[in-house]
Amino acid sequence: MTKNLPRVAAVHDVSGYGKCALTVAMPVLSACGVEVCPMPTALLSANTLFEGFTFFDFTPHMEAYLEHWKKLGLCFDSVYSGFLGSEKQISYVARLIEDFDSGLSVIDPVMGDNGVVIKTYTPEMCKSMIDLVSIADCATPNITEACLLTGRSYPGAELSREESAAICRDICNLGTRSVVLTGVQRNNGRLYNCGMDKGEYFECEIELLPYLQHGTGDLFTSVMLGGLMRGNCLQDSVHSAAHFVYDAMEYGRYIEDIFDRGVAFEPLAWKLGTGLYVK
């Protein structure tokens, strides 16, 4: 009997140290039972928070990379992208979605955070990202990115349920079928991931931890995608991802150099075998 192994094309950079992007997405999605075909956008010695990191842009090679995939006749069950460094890279993700028969496209529109736009992002790139989100099945912006996509002024991290729902609705109006707005806080000391799927709004509430670690955003979206690719609904997949990230951060809290190394998801990854996190 033929068995199905879902396959995702993951378009992210590779950082040799300071876990993020492909060094998170590949092991996490593999643990969920998903085959990962990486398409690197850049190679870095360490993530960009480390002084003196080396950077090798992979953009000149991405055209040939795509063409060879096309010659091989590859199809993907999903296309998943994170940080993209140029308009050209954004266009390559759009081609993947349109030309490779992807059943599910998840776009993490990495453009900024805490009201600050990434320095390399131009107005033209922001427009191209809006176009990419418009053809995606799901987008996972934080509040800053959601404001860039919708032309809103950044309101800060605290949003009411009504404000969160309005932003989600505006993102869906761009064309994407569903959205997960991450990083919403309220004055009750809780963190919210707010979603809208086919017009239905929902929230996942969890304790707000008093510290940060590298890679948690990429970890969240990768676990969420793993849940979706194993046939689970968006709300269950968001719930799974939020709790997995929380537990991974708590697990690694006292590991030596954890705030340089990045979130310690590895000891818990085996619990993702069904696609959803099982405590």
235-252 per-position pLDDT tens digit: 999 999 999 999 999 999
Give the model's pLDDT for residue 17. 97
The reported pLDDT for the residue numbered 189 is: 87
Residue with tokens 């991974």: 248
Kindly give the pairing relationship between strand 35-44 and strand 7-15.
Answer: parallel
Which parts of the chain sit beneath pLDDT 50?
none
From 70, 67, 43, select the one nearest 54 (Cα to Cα). 43
What pLDDT does residue 187 have?
Answer: 85
Joined together, the tokens standing for residue 253 give 């809290």
At 101 the pLDDT is: 74
Torsion of CA 122, 96, 244, 4, to 10 degrees: 180
Q: Which CATH architecture has domain 7-263?
A: 3-Layer(aba) Sandwich (3.40)
User: Could you tell me which of 53, 97, 81, 128 has the C-alpha nearest to residue 222?
Assistant: 81
pTM: 0.96
